[in-house]
């Protein structure tokens, strides 16, 4: 049974993250210490120097040979369920469309696994919980983010076709012969190349892949990372969670308002993040036979707040940026009571099942 000490432990693990967030927010909103270009420089520092070491550090802690593949299968099934529902909605309803399908998938699939998930789940379930969240983050980066980028690129390709010359418009050659100009849709291989180039520009891609490679090698031959390398990684990695939340505070302060897309769309985003995503994960978990603490961890990690990267992609591709920014900001603020509620309810149900 969960006591007040357990809840305090969870709050204590999360509170420092929100202190860093408020420091970032206050430094811009109230103290006017940083201008937008300063904030951009801090974000660049975080993106290209701190977060890659943070990602690498946590990825190397996983033993790939002892991964919980049923847990990963449950995650895959939950995303498949979401994709099927989105496809049916887009095809069978009058309001369904491809741009909103992309945004709905982003809202219900990408969560803040490392910065928020690791300390939160660690406080709830210890090292075992941390390990599962890190496994989820690896799958998210190597599969779901790449799939999301392909969806964005496919939309961009369609927009380019709409702006291109249509077959009804004809061109005339030097002999005044009319000829139709046609455009061809990019192949699934062209899109993969474009997505590959974008992923290659993301330093976290190298951090995740290199971390996974080292985890494979070190656990296969029982190797230890040289202390000089480990120290070099840790000196940057230890700043990861704090600086990431500080940057989120800067981002919040630069927005015109916290709820930038209206109450209805905000509620819709929260419904997808905190209800639909964990519900789909619960179905996937039951289908593969997860039980006990693993089931609880699977559902709670699916209800983590929105990944910051989802807003970055939405801004880059100019698609529903206000919805994603509100989901990241407001979702992060309200996530503590939501996640604690999940923690309490799931553990009560788990205890009753055992009894």
What CATH number is given to the structural domain containing 30? Answer: 1.20.1530.20
- Asked if residue 282 belongs to a domain, the reply is yes
- Asked if residue 178 belongs to a domain, the reply is no
Give the model confidence (pLDDT) of 157-188 as tens digits. 777 666 654 554 444 444 455 445 555 666 77
On whether the CB atoms of residues 277 and 78 are closer than 8 A, the answer is yes
Contacts for 287 with CB less than 8 Å, ≥ 6 apart: 74, 77
Whole-model pTM? 0.86
C-alpha distance from residue 115 to each of 25, 94, 119, 133, 160 (Å): 17, 38, 7, 11, 36
- Asked if residue 177 belongs to a domain, the reply is no
Taking alpha carbons only, the member of 346, 262, 264, 236 closest to residue 302 is 346
- Asked if residue 179 belongs to a domain, the reply is no
- Give the number of domains in the chain: 1
Q: What is the pLDDT along the chain (355 residues), one digit of tens a residue?
A: 567 888 888 888 889 989 999 999 999 999 999 999 999 899 889 988 999 999 999 999 999 999 999 999 999 999 999 999 999 999 998 888 999 999 999 999 999 998 899 999 999 999 999 999 999 999 998 899 888 988 888 888 777 666 654 554 444 444 455 445 555 666 777 777 887 887 777 788 889 999 999 999 999 999 999 999 999 999 999 999 999 889 988 988 988 888 878 899 999 999 999 999 999 999 999 999 999 999 999 999 999 999 988 888 888 888 998 899 889 889 988 998 999 999 999 988 888 776 5
- Asked if residue 172 belongs to a domain, the reply is no
Taking alpha carbons only, the member of 136, 96, 178, 152 closest to residue 307 is 136
C-alpha distance from residue 343 to each of 2, 7, 107, 121 (Å): 9, 9, 21, 10
- Asked if residue 175 belongs to a domain, the reply is no
- Asked if residue 176 belongs to a domain, the reply is no
- Asked if residue 295 belongs to a domain, the reply is yes
Range of the domain at 327: 4-162+185-354
- What residues form DSSP beta bridges with 178? 172
């Amino acid at each position: 049974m969960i006591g007040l000490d357990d809840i305090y432990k969870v709050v204590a693990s999360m509170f420092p993250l929100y202190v860093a967030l408020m420091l970032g927010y206050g430094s811009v909103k109230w103290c006017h210490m940083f201008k937008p270009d300063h904030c951009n420089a801090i974000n660049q520092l975080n993106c290209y120097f701190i977060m890659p070491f943070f990602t690498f550090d946590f990825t190397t802690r996983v033993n790939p040979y002892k991964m919980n593949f049923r847990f990963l299968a449950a995650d895959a099934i939950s995303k498949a369920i979401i994709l099927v529902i989105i496809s049916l909605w887009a095809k069978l309803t009058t309001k369904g469309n491809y741009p909103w399908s992309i945004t709905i998938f982003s809202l219900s699939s990408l969560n803040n696994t490392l910065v928020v998930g690791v300390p939160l789940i660690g406080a709830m379930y210890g090292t075992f919980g941390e390990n599962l969240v890190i496994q989820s983050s690896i799958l998210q980066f190597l599969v779901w983010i790449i799939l999301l980028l392909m969806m964005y690129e496919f939309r961009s390709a369609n927009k380019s076709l709409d702006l291109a010359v249509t077959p009804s418009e004809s061109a005339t050659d030097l002999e005044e012969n009319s000829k139709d100009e046609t455009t061809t849709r990019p192949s699934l291989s062209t899109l993969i190349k474009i997505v590959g180039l974008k992923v290659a520009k993301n330093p976290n891609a190298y951090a995740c892949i290199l971390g996974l490679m080292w985890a494979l090698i070190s656990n296969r031959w029982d190797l230890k990372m040289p202390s000089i390398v480990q120290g070099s990684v840790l000196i940057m990695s230890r700043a990861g969670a704090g600086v990431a939340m500080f940057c989120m505070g800067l981002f919040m302060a630069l927005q015109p308002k916290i709820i930038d897309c209206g109450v209805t769309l905000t509620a819709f985003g929260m419904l997808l993040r905190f209800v639909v995503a964990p519900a789909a994960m619960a179905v996937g978990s039951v289908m593969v036979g997860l039980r006990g603490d693993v089931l609880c961890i699977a559902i709670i990690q699916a209800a983590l707040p929105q990944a910051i990267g989802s807003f970055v992609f939405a801004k880059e591709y100019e698609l529903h940026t206000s919805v994603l920014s509100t989901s990241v900001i407001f979702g992060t603020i309200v996530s503590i009571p939501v996640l604690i509620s999940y923690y309490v309810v799931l553990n009560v149900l788990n205890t009753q099942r055992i009894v």
